[in-house]
């Protein structure tokens, strides 16, 4: 069964550095998402992406964050200048279409980001 | 925006007994309610979902009920087994529709422990 994949599994960075988290959504999916989960807390929505543009973003997704689909398979999340509070597990998710029988969002295994 | 409350935060049940987790949501426009199971350090995995045009859905030992009037939905696990131990998250979304790319709003999670 196809799965969403993410790399790296763990990223350690210094405060102020840029990081790029990578995701490969399921191949025939059209909608892409990033969520984050601070340790011990709930999963929070960051951004949704469709047709090469952002559909919606949360208040967490400020100017330090950006997303890109650089080719036909990858979906990236960039944090330009990391802060301590960016430390979290970042999950990518994808969904096939917007029709009612394909609501399911499939999650990747996550990238644990640690900002020192 | 949508707010999802989830109770209880922790739940311990004897193996073989039933477990019930409850969620309430605030946005009457929400029409899709998935439940995700997350084992330690792993990705959230969909275990069951329900749409607003249905009041109940069952899949083997797992069932979900939805009360649109009261804006709450519940997860029921019967004949619990040790492998059911995990954190369970409910979520809500206005996902239906051709342009449905809407985000999932998650509850705060329930840590379920099955006591052998």
Bridge pairing between strands B10-14 and B110-115? parallel
pLDDT digits (tens, 9 = 90+) for A77-112: 999 999 999 999 999 999 887 555 567 889 999 999
Of B32, B98, B106, the CB nearest to A43: B106
Residue of A24, A45, A61 best to disrupt the B interface, most CBs of B under 10 A: A45
The answer to whether A41 contacts B108, with C-beta atoms less than 8 Å apart, is yes
Tell me the pLDDT tens digit for each residue of B57-75: 999 999 999 999 999 999 9
Find the CB nearest B95 among A42, A45, A103. Answer: A103
- Whether A66 has a pLDDT exceeding 70, the answer reads yes
Question: Average pLDDT, stretch A3-11?
Answer: 96
pLDDT the model gives residue A101: 57
> Measured between CB atoms, which of A35, A44, A98 is closest to B99?
A98
Do the chains contact at B43 and A109, CB–CB below 8 Å?
Answer: yes
To the nearest whole angstrom, how far is the Cα of B15 from the nearest Cα of chain A?
25
What residues have CB less than 8 Å from A85, skipping those under 6 apart? A115
Mind telling me how many Å the CA of B95 is from chain A's nearest CA? 6
């Amino acid at each position: 069964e196809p799965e969403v994949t993410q790399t790296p599994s763990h990223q350690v960075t210094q405060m102020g550095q840029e990081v790029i988290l990578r995701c490969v959504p399921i191949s025939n999916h059209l909608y892409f998402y990033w969520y984050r989960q601070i340790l011990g807390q709930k999963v929070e929505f960051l951004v949704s992406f469709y047709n090469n543009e952002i559909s919606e973003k949360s208040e967490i997704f400020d100017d330090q964050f950006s997303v890109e689909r650089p080719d036909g398979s990858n979906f990236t999340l960039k944090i330009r200048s990391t802060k301590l509070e960016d430390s979290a597990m970042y999950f990518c998710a994808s969904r096939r279409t917007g029709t009612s029988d394909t609501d399911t969002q499939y999650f990747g295994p996550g990238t644990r980001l640690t900002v020192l | 925006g949508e707010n999802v409350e989830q109770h209880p935060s922790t739940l311990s049940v004897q193996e073989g007994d039933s477990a019930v987790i409850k969620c309430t949501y605030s946005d009457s426009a929400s029409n899709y309610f998935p439940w995700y199971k997350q084992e330690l350090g792993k990705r959230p995995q969909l275990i069951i979902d329900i749409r607003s045009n249905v009041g109940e859905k069952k899949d083997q030992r797992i069932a979900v009920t939805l009360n649109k009037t009261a804006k709450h939905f519940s997860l029921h696990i019967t004949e619990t087994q040790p492998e059911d131990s995990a954190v369970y998250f409910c979520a809500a979304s206005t996902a239906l529709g051709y342009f449905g790319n809407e985000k999932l709003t998650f509850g705060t999670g329930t840590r379920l422990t099955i006591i052998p």
